[in-house]
Amino acid sequence: MYDKEITEVLLYYQTNEKNGLEEEQVQTSRMKHGMNQITKNTKKTIFQMVIGQLKETMVLILLVALVISATLGEYIDAVVILLVIVINTVIGVFQEYKAEKAIEALEKMATPKALVIREGRHHEIAAEEVVCGDIVILENGRIVPCDMRLIKSVDLQIDESALSGESIPSHKNAEQVYATNTPLADRKNMAYMSSYVVSGRGIGVCVGVGMKSEIGRIAKMLNEAIEEQTPLQERLSRLGKWLGYVCVGICLLMLIVSLLQKREVLEMVLTAISLAVAAIPEGLSAVVSIVLALGVQRMSKRNAIVRKLVAVETLGCVSVICSDKTGTLTQNKMHVVSTYVDLAYQHTSPLLIQGLALCNDVYEEEENDYGDPTEVALVEYARSKGITKRDVENKFPRMAEIPFDSTRKRMCTVHKISNGKIIFVKGALEVLLPLCNRYLIEDKIYPLHIREKERILEDSQEAQQQAQRLIALAYKKDESTLPYEQDLVFIGFVGMIDPPREEAKEAVRICHEAGIEVVMITGDHPTTATAIAKQLAIIQEDSEVMRGVEIDGLTDQELRQRIHKYHVFARVSPNHKVRLVKAYKALGHVVAMSGDGVNDAPSLKYADIGIAMGKNGSDVTKSASDIVLSDDNFATITAAVEEGRNIYLNIQKAILFLLSCNIGEVITLFLAITFLPGYPIPLTPIQILWVNLVTDSFPSLALGMDPNQKGVMEQAPRKRNESLFGEFGWIYLVFNGLLIGTLSLVAYRYGLQYSITVAHTMTFMVLSISQLFHSLNLMNLHRSILQVGLFHNPYLLMTILLGVVIQFLVSEQSFLQTMLKTTSLTFSQWGIVFSLSLVVIIVNEISKWIAREEK
């Protein structure tokens, strides 16, 4: 469509710029061209997941054991091993399916939006709902939702590097028509899906959606999904392999020792295989994946939508939060509370109201106004004074404009009037005032000297000290060929209040308690920023504020040396934000950075965690971020950090549980074979596999779903390179592994006085039940179970009760007795089993008490 005139394109799609499509046309277009979605790689089917599970190392080892058992006529053992493989596969598939569905749901939450005109009204819709023929509005910071033939462009620049490879933004011109076969990068009248608006505005008609767009055609050729692991998952994979080698080595050592002791070869081979399967922590990666996925879902319920899983791990390490002011620390409910005209605080002036209504990019509708919150507030103020944007624009149509950007801190619009044109410039007071050489008093124009400028700036302090944000307005009639933004006539300014969020002060306090430094970074005036920061207890003194111009005067080294003296950075540019993030990171901090504008994207990329605003953030900022706040609220950042810390803690608990259980199983057999050479092996191969299946899998998942731990935000941030197991993790693992192994052997020796079957059964029960009880110790690594409460984690309690009931049935039910080579236990024998199993809780409670007393 780049080779067609605008009128031809509109006629082809039976649409027009003013009204767009009718609802019936939308449905017809969707039926014809499909949804605006890029088809991703086909999701794994259940069958593919099953095949994937059967290829796991653990399952392959079990299949070897199955073949050996069947070949030697041990059919009951073979059936049990087959059952273990089936159950393990079902659990693995369930975990994979659950994790995939959780991430799928999160992807839907982060869908970009598109602003379209339908039936004569503006609508903000999900980008995937755009259809061919839709009239789409492009604004600074928005991602282009589809392929579009532009029908209007105002200083429109679009970054098309993802498609063309050209790093310089493309300057668009809707009026141009190009020859057929013009290269994509040269089509200045087109905007393409997945590119984004760097500056300016535009309107276009959608001509390509989904897989029929340019990016869709590329996707057909490159549709290969790359599954990335988070650093934590990679560390666990390496740990799992290392532990696997160690365990296999121990198993081989036990096999050699057993052969030297002239034990039965077949039994020892099966025992070694079973122990290798039980000892290798194959479930670690699956547990971590599902804990991350479920944790991320929980974060989304608290309005923090995670785009990259790595952010969940990093959240627990955050030591500095760099927050934007407007809308994040404040309510983003701006309203005009003061006006300054005629060099005095007055009620208002007609020219000021008209200028505010004209010099903005708000789309005015009956129910909603679409646009920047500050500009929306100005339009609402004008409407309250009887002037609507629509009416005044019809009277004085816009002819040209210079869009706002965060570096210039102003915007300019040019409007047609009866005798020529009028220019309005709106922006920050200290930016606009130097551009003025005249001022207006009671409709008369006077020269503006330094004395008057100083008076205006001095008068403005009154409003700024009340946390008012000032927006100044100037104008001139086109009396010469001078640039639009020079020799202006100063009209006045309005003061706007955006009160702090009620919950923000408490969130700041929580951050301080958690050892997290809170820093406000804003483009606002220092006086306004200081007033808000003091209300939120971010700062106590004015001396804690630094201006952007002061940052310019410092070298990177000087900035690093001084940065901790300041907690408010005002009148900063995007470049300043990047320098601040780099300075904090150079000092060893883990930095979370929030932003909303397109120019915030670089600083979000540089930060350890980039946080975008979901309501008022640009699409570009969202795509550069790791987390999107659906409510634009600073308290949500604090909640996300808390959730991140808890998710990591839960993963740590699950790891500690699985590994201490694995070590316990290895130690039980290793000690028995090494120090009890004349006795049979205390556990049969089938019993080892059963313990691994029933005792290990479900409690580790339940621990991963542990509710938020109290006091987690009263601790200092975790060090980035901290061990997966915490400060004394390895000691904890070995200690509890030895404890579980020793208790199991005590049960074995006790049971031998009755029979070898009773001894096997009691060892089996103590090993299983002590591990189930041990999961209670891990609900909190520091506090007593009594302090935490048995009902703290209902999933874990249900898992333990179910596990104990299953173990009881294994001992008492005849079919299971035959299958697992167990026997019924007497009341006193059960008493010994539970007494020994409870020792795990008692010993851990004592060690926790000693640790607390020492602190």
The model's pLDDT over 21-43, given as tens digits with 9 standing for 90+, comes to 999 999 999 999 888 987 765 56
Q: Are residues 153 and 192 in the same domain?
A: yes
Q: Tokens at residue 625, please?
A: 């971020």
Please give the sequence-ordered ranges of beta strands (E in DSSP) within 367-419, or none if there are none.
369-370, 398-405, 410-417
The listed range with the strongest mean pLDDT (181-185, 263-267, 340-344) is 340-344
Is the confidence at residue 482, as pLDDT, over 80? no
Locate the DSSP E strands across 236-368.
304-306, 320-323, 335-341, 344-346, 363-364
d(CA 246, CA 662): 12
Give me the mean pLDDT over the 224-236 stretch. 57
One domain for residues 821 and 695: yes
Phi (first) and psi of residue 750, to 5 degrees:
-65, -45
Structure tokens at 760: 């096997």
Return the pLDDT at 677: 75
Domain count, the chain: 4
Task: Indicate the pLDDT class of residue 286, thresholds 50, 70 and 90.
Answer: low
What tokens appear for 559 in the block? 């900035």
pLDDT tens per residue across span 595-612: 887 667 888 989 999 998
| Angle ∠(44,100,304) on CA atoms, nearest 5 | 155
Tokens of 171: 């300057």
The tokens 């020219």 sit on which residue?
A: 351
**Domain assignment of residue 61, yes or no:** yes
Task: Report pLDDT digits (tens) over 711-727.
Answer: 889 888 988 777 777 66
pLDDT digits (tens, 9 = 90+) for 418-438: 888 999 999 999 999 999 999
128 falls within a domain: yes
Do 102 and 294 touch, CB atoms closer than 8 A? yes
Residues 437 and 482 in one domain: yes
The CATH number of the domain where 557 resides is what? 3.40.50.1000
Give per-residue pLDDT as tens, 636-669.
999 999 998 998 888 889 888 988 888 888 888 8
Q: Which residue has the tokens 């057909």?
A: 220
Q: How would you label 554-567 residue by residue, b for 16+ Cβ within 10 Å and e otherwise?
A: beeeebbeebeebb
Q: Which of 492, 471, 507, 508 is nearest to 373 (CA)?
A: 471
Q: Exactly one of 134, 324, 596, 600 is catalytic; which is it? A: 324
What integer pLDDT is reported at residue 480 of this predicted model? 62
Q: In this structure, is residue 35 part of a structural domain? A: yes
In whole angstroms, give the CA distance from residue 520 to residue 5: 49
For 318, list phi and psi in degrees, rounded to 5.
Answer: -60, 125
147 sits in which H/E element: strand 147-159
Is there a single domain that holds both residue 512 and residue 423? Answer: no
Which residues lie across from 364 on neighbouring strands? Answer: 369
Domain end position, chosen among 476, 497, 518: 497
Could you list the residue range(s) of the whole structural domain that residue 29 is in? 1-227
Q: What is the pLDDT of residue 98?
A: 64
CA distance 122 to 129: 14
pLDDT for the residue numbered 277: 65
Q: Tokens at residue 204, please?
A: 């276009």
pLDDT surpasses 70 at 786: yes
The CATH number for 672's domain is 1.20.1110.10
> Does residue 59 form part of some domain?
yes
CB burial string 323-343: b at 16+ within 10 A, e below? bbbbbbbbbbebebebbbbbb
Tell me whether strands 444-447 and 436-441 are parallel, antiparallel or unpaired: antiparallel
570 and 676 assigned to the same domain: no
Q: Mark which of 227, 253, 280 sits at the end of a domain.
A: 227
Query: How far does the chain reach from its first CA to its final CA, in angstroms?
Result: 73
What sign does the CA torsion over 504, 505, 510, 516 have? positive
- Predicted confidence band of residue 405 (pLDDT cuts 50, 70, 90): confident
Q: Last residue of some domain: 444, 462, 497? A: 497
For residue 793, give every residue at least 6 positions away whose Cβ sits within 8 Å of its Cβ, in sequence order, or none: 702, 703, 705, 706, 707, 779
In the annotation, is 487 catalytic?
no
Amino acid present at 807: Q
Gyration radius of the chain's alpha carbons: 34
Q: Residue 223: what pLDDT? A: 47
Tokens 């300019």, located at residue: 412
- What's this model's pTM, rounded to 2 decimal places? 0.74
pLDDT value of residue 117: 94
pLDDT given for residue 247 in this prediction: 66
Query: Would you call 319 helix, strand, or coil by DSSP?
Result: coil
Same domain, 91 and 173: yes
Distance CA 279, CA 251 (A): 9
The stretch 100-122 carries a mean pLDDT of 73
Work out the number of other CB atoms within 10 angstroms of the CB of residue 687.
25
Domain-located, residue 116? yes
Q: Reply yes or no on whether the pLDDT at 224 is more than 50.
A: no
Q: What is the mean pLDDT of residues 603-622?
A: 84
237 lies in some domain: no
Asked if residue 235 is part of any domain, the answer here is no
- Give CA–CA dist 314/468, Å, rounded: 36
- Check whether residue 439 and residue 557 sit in a common domain: no
CA dist., res. 771 & res. 800, Å (int): 9
Give the domain CATH number at 345: 3.40.1110.10
Same domain flag for 382 and 484? yes
Residues 206 and 252 in one domain: no
Distance CA 582, CA 577 (A): 9
Q: Is 236 within the bounds of a domain? A: no
